Amino acid sequence: MRRHDPGRRDRIVEVTLELIAEVGVAGLSHRGIARRADVPLGSMTYHFDGMDDLLRTAFTRFAERFSASYAAHFAEVGAREEAVSAIVALIRELSADAGMRDNIVAYELYTLAARDPAYREITGRWMAVSRSELERWFAGDVARQLDALIEGFALHGALDVAPLEIGVVESAVRRLVGA
């Protein structure tokens, strides 16, 4: 029996995110998470008040991490023209196969948020962050438009069978920013 195990709670959250990407919220189980996290089953209900509590915690962490990576992506961007390139590059990354794992988790979150206002708080904060990031270079309205465009292209790039041409993306971004 292992008593001293700091960060056990963290590990549970981390494994939950991994499993969401693999089997979805629908395929989760306390037992499956506990097994993968190498944690006794009893720990699940000890650290979290049921599955919903765990899910909210996990998705909150996911959103925070995603917001941070969003900020990092734009961290070294100086001029406005660089911002345009950064947006195009971001869309390419999001719609690429490598970014699919995060997309999966994000859509699972969207699904929950569409039904439950509690999760909409998470998505709301997330979107506020990405918008305020864009507002470093663009007016509020334009930032909102760009944010929607990024989301739309990322989704269609990931879920459409027709491949996304980067030139089409770039011209859309340029039209919105008015250049």
Chain contacts with its own copies (rule: CB under 8 A): 24-26, 100, 103-104, 107-108, 110-115, 120-121, 123-124, 127-128, 141, 144-145, 147-153, 155-156, 158-162, 165, 168, 171-172, 175-176, 178
Scanning the structure block, which residue is given the tokens 């700091």? 6
Question: In the set 10, 50, 80, 168, which binds DNA (CB under 7 A)?
Answer: 50
d(CA 123, CA 77): 25
What token pair was written down for 24? 């979805």
Single-letter residue type at 165: E
Stretch that binds DNA, among 22-30, 63-71, 121-129, 168-176 (CB under 7 A): 22-30
Instruction: Out of 51, 77, 129, 155, point to the residue binding DNA (CB under 7 A).
Output: 51
The least CB distance from residue 1 to DNA, in Å, is 5
Q: CA dist 52 to 16, 45, 157, 163, 179, Å?
A: 12, 11, 31, 36, 46
Rounded to 5°, the CA angle 12-13-18 comes to 95
State yes or no: residue 41 binds DNA (CB under 7 A): yes
Rounded to whole angstroms, the Cα distance separating 179 from 87 reads 14
Q: Out of DNA, its own copies, none, which partner does residue 40 contact, by CB within 5 to 8 A per kind? A: DNA
Binding site residues, DNA, CB under 7 A: 1-5, 8, 28-32, 39-46, 50-51
